[in-house]
């Protein structure tokens, strides 16, 4: 019975990962969320499924992930097959540019908060669940960190993205952290990758306060010469594509930044 942990599963892409994985036959899925009681979208989508467990875990608090890993181990008998790390800090400040903060202190605090989630978060998540992944000695152990083109310098230039400074810079750090783990774990047969989901329309489960700021970011995209569908994919379409990539992961993919469309991610041109 393949087992999956999805960290950051309360809404959007993470929620859709849980839903689609739970619909597969003979799977067990663990949805790790910061606030299980407040994860109303997740509970409505999969609360009736017997093969899904909603567990508490905050990527900025390593101890909570250790406790979640212990709960997973107790349920699976000690092992884990797949870890999908999707946690992100997606409050209103995600769209801020350098000039959008009220003070330098305000900016510093936002960067530090984003760093704890996007940069340290994957390190905490992988480290907490690594002992469980190592138990699956007869299988290829797969770790997938959901990346973002906002953390890719060539994409930032191509799409004219002057905003999303804390988000983009700390997601770039996550890409590096994932690559470091790929190097660290390659001799153990792990496949550790960053996976870009493409542009995804998660407004159905997003807090309303984010939507106006999102429109401004999309207007910047429209000012470039690159053709892009600013409405974004539906979460179910992006996740279906990502799962095809995940299902096909091999040792040769270890350390790569992959596109949801298959193959390595490349900035638009």
Q: What are the angstrom distances between the C-alpha of 232 and each of 147, 161, 203, 269?
A: 16, 16, 10, 18
Strand order in the sheet with 28-33: 52-56, 28-33, 3-7, 82-85, 141-146, 190-196, 257-259
Active-site choice (4, 53, 167, 257): 167
Whether 196 contacts 263, CB under 8 Å: no
Active-site annotation holds for 148: yes
Residue 108 belongs to a domain: yes
**What's the number of domains the chain is made of?**
1
Residue 182 belongs to a domain: yes
Q: Where are the beta strands (DSSP E) in 91-245?
A: 141-146, 190-196
Active-site annotation holds for 70: no
Residue 86 belongs to a domain: yes
Q: What does each of the 269 residues of the chain score in pLDDT, given as a tens digit?
A: 899 999 999 989 999 999 999 999 899 999 999 998 777 778 777 767 889 999 999 999 999 999 999 999 999 999 999 999 999 999 989 999 999 999 999 999 999 999 999 999 999 999 999 999 999 766 779 999 999 999 999 999 999 999 999 999 999 999 999 999 999 999 999 999 999 999 998 766 555 545 555 565 555 555 554 445 556 789 999 999 999 999 999 999 999 999 999 999 999 98
Active-site choice (171, 238, 257, 259): 171
Residue 36 belongs to a domain: yes
For residue 113, what is the domain's CATH number? Answer: 3.40.50.720
> pTM for this one?
0.90
- Residue 258's DSSP bridge partners are 195, 264
Active-site annotation holds for 4: no
Instruction: For residue 96, give its domain range.
Output: 3-259
Residue 267 belongs to a domain: no
């Amino acid at each position: 019975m393949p087992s999956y942990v999805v960290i950051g599963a309360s809404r959007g892409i993470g929620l859709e990962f849980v839903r689609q994985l739970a619909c597969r036959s003979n799977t067990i899925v663990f949805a790790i969320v910061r606030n299980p009681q407040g994860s109303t979208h997740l509970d409505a989508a999969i609360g009736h499924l017997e093969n899904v467990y909603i567990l508490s875990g905050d990527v900025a608090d390593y101890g909570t992930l250790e406790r979640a890993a212990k709960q997973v181990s107790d349920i699976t008998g000690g092992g884990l097959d797949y870890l999908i790390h999707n946690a992100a800090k997606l409050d209103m400040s995600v769209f801020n540019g350098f000039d959008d903060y009220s003070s330098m202190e305000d900016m510093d605090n936002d960067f530090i908060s984003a760093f704890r989630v996007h940069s340290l978060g994957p390190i905490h998540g992988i480290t907490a669940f690594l002992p469980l992944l190592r138990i699956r000695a007869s299988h290829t152990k797969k770790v997938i960190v959901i990346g973002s083109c906002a953390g890719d310098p060539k994409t930032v230039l191509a799409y004219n993205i002057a905003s999303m400074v804390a988000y983009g810079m700390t997601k770039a750090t996550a890409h590096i952290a994932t690559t470091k783990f790929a190097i660290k774990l390659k001799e153990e047969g792990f496949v550790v990758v960053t996976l870009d989901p493409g542009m995804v329309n998660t407004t159905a489960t997003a807090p309303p306060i984010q939507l106006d700021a999102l429109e401004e970011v999309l207007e910047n995209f429209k000012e470039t010469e690159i053709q892009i569908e600013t409405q974004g994919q539906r979460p179910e379409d992006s996740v279906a594509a990502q799962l095809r990539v995940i299902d096909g992961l091999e040792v040769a993919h270890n350390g790569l930044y992959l596109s949801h469309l298959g193959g390595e991610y490349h900035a638009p041109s």
